[in-house]
Amino acid sequence: MSYVIQKKIANVFKKQVSKNGFDHVSVSSIMRATNIRRQTFYECFLDKYDLLRWQVNDTLEEVIDNNIDYLPWQSIMKLFIYEVDANRRYYFECLSQHEIDVSDLFALHLTVLLAHIMDRKKLNKNKKARASMWITCLGISNSIIHNTLSNEPVDYELLVVQAIYAVEFSFNVS
């Protein structure tokens, strides 16, 4: 199915989840709002969980993966954390469901960024650096999630600074 159709469905899904909560969004309501036949949804996605996975992956590819060759890694980290903060209600709702591990999706895309840093520093064959990469990605992801779910979240720019410090410390980069 066309990427444009998938994106249109995903955008309506994101708006509805932000407004009504994940549990109160149905395939029928999404397709009524898009004015596309219901069968088209199932040609693109298995269910709303598959749509959630696709939407988060698509967003993170746009923010992280597709910018690696164009922006400094610090700017990409800031874009990523800003994306989550700017869409806090949506991600809060996504994190409240337990079928898709959004934290894991965050960490997987962060590994793309950190693998690029490791490659530039010629650390990709270093066993300790690879282990540190995954733990650092999980830590950054968990910090973002904790902040998203918190009743008293810190400013996203503080999280950006902390994430950048963690990467710099782990890989001796700046």
d(CA 109, CA 2): 23
pLDDT at 70 over 90: yes
pLDDT at 130 over 90: no
d(CA 64, CA 77): 8
d(CA 18, CA 94): 9
pLDDT at 40 over 90: yes
Q: Under a CB-based contact definition with an 8 Å cutoff, are residues 34 and 79 in contact?
A: no
Q: What is the DSSP letter of 45?
A: -
Query: What structural domains and CATH numbers belong to the chain?
Result: 47-171 (1.10.357.10)
pLDDT at 79 over 70: yes
Q: Residue 125 is which amino acid?
A: K
The two tokens of residue 59 are: 């967003």
